[in-house]
Amino acid sequence: MAYSQRLTPEEKLADAKRLLSLPRIVVICGSTRFMAEMNEADLRETQAGKIVVKPGCDMKSPHELWSNPVEAEALKVRLDDLHRAKIRLADEVLVVGDYIGDSTRAEIAYARSMGKPVRFRHPFPDYEIESVGHSSTGPTTEL
């Protein structure tokens, strides 16, 4: 008697995306200081037929939702969790900006731990991203 192998949640999600004929989903990562570049990358990736998800809040810009420091810290934690969910949903990661800080390094490491391909809009020397376990896949030049 043959037993069917149980699918992981990731495999179930991939199957559902295929059954729904969804286009590739790309998540944009990087410091929110590069929001303008994120928006341009969103435009280009959308034009290329991909579904794009990216950070929705720029906490570096003043706003009443994060004007209280205690509430802002709690919001940052929730936004980090939300962005990791976006990475889980995505088929690939696009890193924008010419700087990779600790948060972006953690996002790259998280994506790679799940086998997600990671693209970079800018070239980075290997030593700049060694802490995430892999060397750069090189720049993309679509913009």
pLDDT tens digits for the chain (143 residues)? 455 689 999 999 999 999 999 999 999 999 999 999 999 999 999 999 999 999 999 998 999 999 999 999 999 999 999 999 999 999 999 999 999 999 999 999 999 999 999 999 988 766 555 555 444 444 443 43
Does domain 24-132 match CATH 3.40.50.450? yes
Burial class (CB within 10 angstroms; exposed 0-12, middle 13-18, buried 19+) of 121: buried
pLDDT digits (tens, 9 = 90+) for 94-108: 999 999 999 999 999
E strand spans, 5-139? 25-29, 51-53, 92-95, 118-120
- Any alpha helices (H) in 20-54, and if so which ranges? 35-47
d(CA 71, CA 65): 8
- Helices (H) and strands (E) in the chain — how many of each? 5, 4
